[in-house]
Amino acid sequence: MLLGIDLGTSSIKAALIREDGRCLAIGAEPYAISTPFPGWAEQDAEDWVQATLRAVRSALAQAGDQVEAVAALSFSGQSHGGVCLGRHGEVLRPAIIWADQRSAQQVDEVRRNVGPENLARWTGNPLDTGFMLSTWLWLRQHEPEVAARAAFFVLPKDYVRYRLTGVLATEPSDAGTTGLFDPARVRWSQPLLEAVDIDPALLPDVIGSAAPAGRLLPQAAAEMGLAAGTPVFAGAADQACQALANGILAAGDVSSTIGTGGQLSAPTTDATPDSGLRLHLYNHVAPGLWFRMGATLSAGLSLTWLRNLLQPGTPFQQMADWANTAPAGSEGLFFVPHLAGERTPHMDPHARAAFIGLTLRHRREHIIRAVMEGVVFSLRQALDLMESLGVEARRVVASGGATQHPLWLQLQADIYDCPIHRTLTVEAAATGAALLAGIGVGVYGDAQDAASRTVRLHDEVILPQPEEAEHYRRAFTTYRDLYPALKAAS
């Protein structure tokens, strides 16, 4: 068996898979996001560790406690965030995660002082709040005593792996999300580190996604129910892992993920960044492969917000059922899903959400459907950008929690105006991490071999409905005009 551990935003998932990719068991453990001030988003790194131990124990119990049968494990994780560690590996303060908005001033300063041309040349990526670079600059200014004591600043999944192995390292796919990494040269960006006065010793060594990253320490192994010394491999960012598990490894493939956030990503062998810095360029799990990515911050999060506002505790399936009774376009109601600022294509932490077109006629089902449509419209903007840069979307594969309801899938087919495929992969990010462990331990030859032996497509393909697709094509023209109008009015 292979074990993949996915450190998500709201929970940890541990997936045990067979060599053919079939999932044997999944353990899941939730944890909270702390918001001590408006716009802040923090988590207790110890919560991640304890949740990991419990999730693995749960998965093993479901699989019949086949401890010796676990050949290796690896990690997937939420990107961008930072954990401050002291000289002895102790955590100095709560982790600041990707959803945090406090560093808008620092982002503006870097954009102004470093300039978009240098950011594109040195990192291939835009900078936003919640990224490790902007977070570190905020800490240095507002919590100088913490910054002075910090010996290492690490990504979330890398901290959990460190706690289990005692080995501190990162890998290219997640390092690229920090704002400090050069994805084309696959190394920390020395020119940028010098420009912002960051000591490179603060950052861990970069190894391959399937490279060895230590072995399980005896105490950690005992607490999880695994054998001490089990090989551990580096892992990858959640989007890279889910792409591997869904077979998104070639030009023409596009991944559409709707979870807490939303991401649209497409593999490429060309490491040339978007000169307008509207899209991200990150390393994939395989050497010599990258992916372009567009992101919307409040995807499923928008539906969670609406549920908590209107009817707390209502199952998401029920909400989508209600939305399915409203017509396409929600009778002229639009939702702009910028509840936590926005990334693609605006890169604007100050962007704000809005309902536009509300009338006395609109009911609960219209409002829910408008929220879902707004999320997919936002991702459609990323698809348009990719296509303008030469990406050909020959196959779009849906992933994330939104695959659980037919309406989410149909909205993607209609608004993207292309067929939507699904794989039979369960918990794609955790499964991708397990596949990386398999590559590392020699079960698979490489990423392509792992995908070819494990990825199976669902028989059903969701096709665009011509009338609805035409309606959404016209509505999308209006949607694109909403952000500039709201920005001008703010």
80-133: pLDDT as tens digits: 999 999 999 999 999 999 989 999 999 999 999 999 999 999 999 999 999 999
Q: Are 98 and 81 in contact (CB under 8 A)?
A: yes
For residue 447, is it within any domain? no
Q: Give every strand in the sheet of 420-421, ordered side by side.
A: 280-283, 290-296, 262-268, 253-258, 395-399, 420-421
Whole-number Å distance between alpha carbons of 123 and 176? 8
Per-residue pLDDT tens over the stretch 278-301? 999 999 999 999 999 999 989 999
Residue 427 lies in a domain: no
**Residue 254: other Cβ atoms inside 10 A:** 28
CATH number of domain containing 220: 3.30.420.40
Domain assignment present for 264:
yes
Q: Give the number of domains in the chain.
A: 2
Choose the final residue of a domain: 206, 240, 274.
Answer: 240
Q: Are residues 43 and 98 in the same domain?
A: yes
Residues recognised as catalytic: 238
Q: How far is CA 363 from the centre of its chain?
A: 32
Confidence of residue 485 (pLDDT cuts 50, 70, 90): very high
Please tell me the distance from the alpha carbon of residue 394 to that of residue 170, in angstroms, as a whole number: 33
Out of 207, 240, 273, pick the residue that ends a domain: 240
What's the whole-model pTM score?
0.93
137 and 204 assigned to the same domain: yes
* Final residue in a domain of this structure, among 240, 267, 301: 240
Domain residue limits at 301: 248-422+459-490
245-282 confidence digits (pLDDT tens): 999 999 899 999 998 889 999 999 999 998 889 999 99
Cα distance between residue 36 and residue 97, in whole Å: 13
Can you list the pairs that 138-143 forms with residues at least 24 positions away whose Cβ atoms lie under 8 Å?
Answer: 138/96, 138/102, 138/103, 138/105, 138/106, 139/84, 139/96, 141/106, 143/93
Same domain, 236 and 252: no
Q: What is the pLDDT of residues 295-351, one digit of tens each?
A: 998 999 999 999 999 889 999 999 999 999 999 999 999 999 999 889 899 988 889
